[in-house]
Amino acid sequence: MGSVYAETDVTNTYAYTTRSIHTRMRINALLQPQMKPSPLLLILGALSLLPTGCDPGTQDADFRFVSASAHHYLDPQKISWSHDFRIVECLFEPLVKVEPDDLRIEPAVASAWDVADDAKTYTFHLRPDARWSNGDPVTSHDFVYAWRRAMLPDLAADYTQLFFHIEGAEAFFGWRSKQLTEYQQPGTTRSPAAAQRLWEQAQHQFTRSVGLSTPDDRTLVVKLTRPTPYFLQLCAFATFMPVHAASLESKTSINPETGMLTQDPTWTKPPHLISNGPYTLNEWKFKRHLLLTANPHYWSRATMANDSILEMIIESPQTALLRYDNNQVDWLPDIPTAKPIAADLIHSRRPDVHAGPAAGTYFYNFNCKPQLNDGSANPLADPRVRTALSMCIDRQTIVERVTRLSSVQPTASTFVPPNTLQDYAPPTDTGVRFNPQRATSLLAEAGYPDGQGLTGLSILYNTEGGHGDIAQQIRHAWLEHLGVTIKLEAVESKRFSERLKNQDYTICRASWFGDYRDATTFLDKMVTGNGNNDCAWSDTRYDTLIRSAADQTDPAKRTVTLQEAETLMLKQQPIAPIFHYINLWLYDPDRVQGLPLNPWRVRRLERVKILK
């Protein structure tokens, strides 16, 4: 699957400031000799005179960083945004983890595991000293409880399909969906007692049919439908983390009208949240900060390099950079590469700028439903219209003139980024290229000569991250080359997320980062009904190819099948790939240790050490 990248605006051109640079002269000394100082540096002197103390009530901590967006969820089974993952990885620990330096799998809650000869049965042995933050032991039952949550249509997890590798999981999801549909039919007797009986039947069906078993409190047996070479990588993913079943049950109820299980979301708020990872959630001040403190019962507490983490929610880039400049922030992790600041930083050769390739793609979603939410016919349901629009996106101009990162940021013709996977090369020759003449012909074939009649389209984007600059360039290109007028819609990230999930848009900006090292972390997103298929595209042949690849035991044949699937999808252009991401962080390497940069954004914040 993959994680949505908010690309929130952590910084902007004020980011020339740094702890070791307090005057404009010293900043200019870091610039390349042939570069002229940015005019915005003139503002820097004035900004440095402004008061920059912490907001009243803000806590201090050993390690401090900035997020420009408030969190959507801190529920492991519900999250899909990258900044949510970053905090959840601090609070919860899965069976295994990925080592940031070499990306190998290593023990976490599971101290060891066995794999059967047929590669379809995994037996995990939980370490006896794994504890929840209240002192309770972490048991195999906690994992089964959490994984069942993700398999229930009741809770609408975005990553449900990842669990379909487990024997009986997909069938159970379908069984429960049918059970709820029948219960909700007119004329059905609905009552608290009836809903309770429905849930008891569902629990029995899950236990009987899904390939999970717990021989004892410290043993978890998982049976897969087929060999899955990347299954351990899935087990390291946040959606596979456990939850404290006992405390969550106290927040659980059954809606007698729908028969659906509901869980009070306040279970993720302090003081209710019980976690098993390196940290506990001490404070959560919405849109202000999160304070994490060391979990005293964490089994590897002695290896932690810090005792507390403060995440500041700072929407203002000026304030974020002033905090960084005044030694109140240690790390700016999400510098938006969609904004010109990224190029300014990379070209500056500053020692606190850290950049590298990323397993992520920036693209536009086209809403592919036959009808839009208002009931009107959707012109984007026609692949010719989508392809024509995509052909008029001048990707090279975007990376040269908008992001100004053409030297390090490749334009994208595929969804899967090239050179990120050893055993998969995406079909770069079949992707859409800039071709306004062909685009004009396609649009005419679709019934919109010179763009006539193609109305009601808009580009939806979240206000953070510089997406407006890209949208402006694309809107201008569509007007110039196709005669199509497009409206721009800028909304804050929470509203953007809601509209994206509800397909309440025609065209919207999007991004995707891989979660595990296999092409399916991208390609599964486009399967019909996938919880992250935000463009609502559906193609039977594509779905068949993805399923066929899952059944392939020959790695070479599997790769060919996946390439065929991506080729098919690119020819229909439900998404328009624009460029592939780079990772760009800002921190002082002389002060901050333990933040290795890798394409897959694997990190261990409990390993970060701040030198005073």
CATH number of the domain within which 150 lies = 3.90.76.10
Cα-flanking dihedrals φ and ψ of residue 481, to 5°?
A: -90, -25
Parallel, antiparallel or unpaired: strands 353-366 and 507-513: antiparallel
Say yes or no to pLDDT of 19 above 50.
no
State the Cα torsion 567-470-481-435 to the nearest 10°.
-30
Close Cβ partners of 82 (under 8 Å, ≥ 6 residues apart): 3, 4, 5, 6, 334, 513, 601
Q: Is residue 277, in this structure, part of any structural domain at all?
A: no
Considering 265, 285, 311, which residue would you say is the last residue of a domain? 265
Residue 307: band (very low, low, confident or very high) from pLDDT cuts 50, 70, 90 = very high
Residue 349: band (very low, low, confident or very high) from pLDDT cuts 50, 70, 90 = confident
SS3 readout for 169-209: HHHHHHHHHHHHHHHCCCCCCCCHHHHHHHHHHHHHHHHHH
Q: Write down the pTM of the prediction.
A: 0.88
d(CA 170, CA 15): 48
Claim to verify: residue 338 and residue 457 sit in the same structural domain: yes
Claim to verify: residue 206 and residue 336 sit in the same structural domain: no
Say yes or no to pLDDT of 21 above 70.
no
How many structural domains is the chain composed of? 2
Residue 183: closest CA among 172, 197, 173: 197
Residue 457: band (very low, low, confident or very high) from pLDDT cuts 50, 70, 90 = very high
Say yes or no to pLDDT of 511 above 70.
yes
d(CA 572, CA 575): 8
Claim to verify: residue 42 and residue 157 sit in the same structural domain: no
Query: Distances in Å between the alpha carbon of 364 and those of 275, 386, 535, 536?
Result: 36, 10, 9, 13
Domain of 397, in residue numbers:
1-57+331-604
Claim to verify: residue 449 and residue 584 sit in the same structural domain: yes
Q: Is residue 284, in this structure, part of any structural domain at all?
A: no
Residue 611, judged by CB atoms within 10 A of its CB (0-12, 13-18, 19+), counts as exposed
Considering 245, 265, 285, which residue would you say is the last residue of a domain? 265
Average pLDDT over residues 239-255: 96
Claim to verify: residue 357 and residue 424 sit in the same structural domain: yes
Q: Is residue 434, in this structure, part of any structural domain at all?
A: yes
Claim to verify: residue 374 and residue 490 sit in the same structural domain: yes
- CATH code of 457's domain: 3.10.105.10
Q: Is residue 77, in this structure, part of any structural domain at all?
A: no
d(CA 355, CA 597): 8
Q: Is residue 65, in this structure, part of any structural domain at all?
A: no
The residues facing 490 across adjacent strands are 461
Spatial contact of 61 and 304, defined as CB atoms under 8 Å apart: no
Chain centroid, CA 99 distance in Å? 19
Say yes or no to pLDDT of 98 above 80.
yes
Claim to verify: residue 47 and residue 109 sit in the same structural domain: no
Residue 23: closest CA among 49, 54, 56, 45: 45
On average, the pLDDT of the chain sits at 90
User: pLDDT tens digits for 178-204?
Assistant: 999 999 999 999 999 999 999 999 999
Enter the tokens of residue 8.
């929130």
